């Protein structure tokens, strides 16, 4: 099928010598969005004391962000397609910075919760526009590999970087700077976006699919909220079960409506593509394991080994470095020569192997010999996987659908993280309780048995995460059949929408 010139990404973008500086701007914005999902974790105890939050309500500092972010991503992606990616990108940056300032100045818990929800809403606008700008700026297969290598490194390591930055800011300044730090980053990114980024005219006559927004975003919000509440309430709680049921019904209605809507929020041909569906599923499964790991390792290093917030953050540094090496020095160099699954499958096996090493940890494990090798393996595996996932999922998409496709990748990552945090934490706490009940024979040994029980719970959950990582590798191997870019469809050739 011939492709009209109007449907192709702007060829001038690849000729622009400043496009690599544009990548720096996009990368800054993506890093800000990803690290904000975790940067407040280490600061949360300080914020709780300062604002007088109850133990029951403190989770909303995290949940408010993930709920708005995960639930509104599809809407944010389609807004980017309709309004223009550069304009949406800048609006998202300004709104995110404003919400960060509001949260940093919070005088009460309600003000902080609201600011975090606003951050999530603007992140849902910012993240898909950033990825779609990258998709339409770099179309040459070789350059695309390098650009997505950098992007994949940030997507995979941003959460770990959040722990490092959060620890430094909390220990040497105060918890408010975990929010204020976004303001200078956003200012630099906004100036850079005006100067360096290009956009194409928005789609003429396009309009927003309002029923699709209500059904799709409503379903995602219910699902993400259900997983966030499953952690404190339990999986059998009536509210949790109701949220899941409502979410499934709304998403089923969403799929039905998308097959009939004149201008659907998420054109179904995007998710029906085998390679793209495989990438979405691989990303979701991979982040289930990854977010669970971050949760357990943060508590293990601080509570069990007694690390300070800064030392805990620095403990994640090798993981971050390994992700960057795997993404930029291995995946980006090989992506143009080998099929994507040739990177994704070994990547998930490596990550799973690293997690299996962590199942051997005890209450007095040595970081350098027992924790560090596992983190390095996991980092390399994630770096090998995330870069080809992002590149393959967004390859061959018509420009008018690049925003919503990018949003779908981000949604799979965000929903996977929500599932991982709730599911693996539930497994860990129940396993810990069982262990302590079975081994607590001498009340004088209560503290030691409790600590051993916590670590036992972590190892059981990490075994589950390792299995989920292997499942992600199996999905990638069976579903992602795309060839190497130079042997397959060029990145600039959009996938035609099926007729009828």
Write down the pLDDT at residue 222: 87
Residue 499 has pLDDT above 50, yes or no: no
Can you tell me the distance from the alpha carbon of 29 to that of 193, in angstroms, rounded to the nearest whole number?
10
The pLDDT confidence band at residue 495, using thresholds 50, 70 and 90, is very low
Per-residue tokens: 466: 């390792």
Can you tell me the distance from the alpha carbon of 228 to that of 245, in angstroms, rounded to the nearest whole number?
15
Tell the residue number behind the tokens 């396009």, with chain if given. 206
Can you tell me the distance from the alpha carbon of 465 to that of 355, in angstroms, rounded to the nearest whole number?
7
Residue 201 has pLDDT above 70, yes or no: no
Can you tell me the distance from the alpha carbon of 54 to that of 403, in angstroms, rounded to the nearest whole number?
39
Angle value at C-alpha 44, between 42 and 46, nearest 5 degrees: 100
* DSSP character at residue 316: T
Largest CA distance in the chain: 78
Q: What secondary structure does DSSP assign to 438-461, as a single string?
A: HH---GGGHHHHHHHHHHHHHHHH
Can you tell me the distance from the alpha carbon of 424 to that of 419, in angstroms, rounded to the nearest whole number?
8
Of 11-20, 86-95, 175-184, 487-496, least confident by mean pLDDT is 487-496
Residue 422 has pLDDT above 80, yes or no: no
- pLDDT tens, 478-487? 998 888 765 4
Spatial contact of 379 and 322, defined as CB atoms under 8 Å apart: yes
In Å, how far are 268, 298, 315, 404, 481 from 274, measured between CA atoms? 12, 36, 38, 17, 8
Spatial contact of 113 and 61, defined as CB atoms under 8 Å apart: yes
Can you tell me the distance from the alpha carbon of 390 to that of 138, in angstroms, rounded to the nearest whole number?
13
Neighbour count for residue 447 (Cβ, 10 Å): 8
The pLDDT confidence band at residue 242, using thresholds 50, 70 and 90, is very high
Spatial contact of 231 and 422, defined as CB atoms under 8 Å apart: yes
Angle value at C-alpha 106, between 102 and 111, nearest 5 degrees: 85
Per-residue tokens: 419: 């599932």
Tell the residue number behind the tokens 């490092």, with chain if given. 164
Write down the pLDDT at residue 128: 83
What is the average per-residue pLDDT within 165-190? 86
Write down the pLDDT at residue 204: 56
In the chain, pLDDT over 90 holds for what percent of residues? 21
- Name, in order, each residue with C-beta under 8 angstroms of 11's C-beta and a sequence gap of 6 or more: none
Q: Please name which of 387, 393, 464 lies closest in space to residue 424, comparing C-alpha atoms.
A: 464
């Amino acid at each position: 099928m011939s492709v009209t010139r109007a449907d192709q990404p702007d060829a001038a973008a690849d000729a622009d010598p400043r496009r690599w500086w544009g990548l720096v701007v996009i990368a800054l914005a993506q890093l800000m969005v990803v690290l904000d999902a975790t940067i407040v974790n280490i600061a949360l105890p300080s914020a709780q004391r300062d604002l007088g939050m109850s133990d029951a309500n403190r989770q909303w500092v995290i949940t408010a962000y993930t709920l708005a972010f995960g639930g509104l991503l599809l809407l944010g992606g389609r807004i980017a397609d309709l309004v223009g990616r550069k304009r949406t990108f800048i609006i998202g940056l300004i709104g995110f910075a404003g919400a960060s300032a509001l949260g940093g100045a919070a005088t009460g818990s309600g003000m902080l919760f609201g600011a975090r929800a606003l951050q999530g809403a603007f992140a849902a606008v910012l993240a898909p526009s950033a990825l779609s700008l990258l998709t339409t700026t770099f179309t040459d297969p070789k350059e695309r590999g390098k650009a997505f290598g950098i992007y994949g490194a940030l997507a995979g390591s941003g959460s770990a970087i959040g722990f490092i930055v959060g620890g430094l800011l909390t220990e040497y300044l105060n918890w408010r700077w975990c929010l204020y730090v976004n303001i200078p980053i956003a200012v630099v990114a906004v100036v850079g976006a005006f100067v360096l980024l290009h956009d194409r005219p928005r789609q003429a006559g396009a309009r927003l699919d309002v029923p699709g927004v209500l059904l799709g975003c409503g379903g995602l919000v219910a699902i993400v909220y259900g997983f966030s509440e499953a952690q404190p309430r339990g999986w059998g709680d009536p509210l949790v079960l109701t949220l899941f049921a409502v979410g499934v019904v709304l998403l089923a209605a969403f799929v039905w409506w998308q097959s009939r809507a004149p201008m659907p929020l998420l054109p179904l041909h995007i998710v029906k593509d085998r390679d793209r569906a495989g990438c979405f599923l691989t990303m979701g499964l991979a982040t289930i394991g990854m977010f669970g790991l971050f949760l357990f390792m943060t508590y293990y290093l601080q509570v069990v080994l007694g690390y300070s917030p800064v030392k805990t953050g620095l403990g994640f540094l090798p993981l971050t470095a390994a992700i960057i090496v795997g993404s930029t020095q291995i995946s980006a160099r090989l992506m143009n020569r080998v099929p994507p699954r040739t990177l994704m499958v070994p990547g998930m096996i490596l990550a799973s192997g690293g997690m299996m090493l962590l199942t051997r940890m005890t209450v007095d494990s040595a970081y350098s010999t027992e924790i560090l090798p596992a983190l390095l393996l996991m980092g390399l595996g994630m770096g090998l996987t995330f870069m080809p996932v992002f590149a393959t999922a967004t390859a061959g998409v018509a420009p008018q659908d690049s925003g919503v496709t990018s949003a779908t990748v981000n949604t799979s990552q965000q929903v996977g993280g929500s599932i991982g945090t709730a599911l693996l934490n539930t497994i860990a706490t129940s396993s810990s309780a069982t262990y302590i009940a079975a081994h607590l024979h001498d009340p004088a040994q209560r503290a030691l048995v409790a600590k051993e029980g916590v670590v036992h719970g972590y190892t059981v959950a990490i075994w589950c995460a390792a299995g989920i990582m292997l499942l992600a590798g199996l999905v990638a191997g069976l579903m992602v059949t795309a060839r190497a870019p130079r042997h397959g469809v060029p990145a600039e050739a959009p996938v035609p929408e099926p007729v009828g």
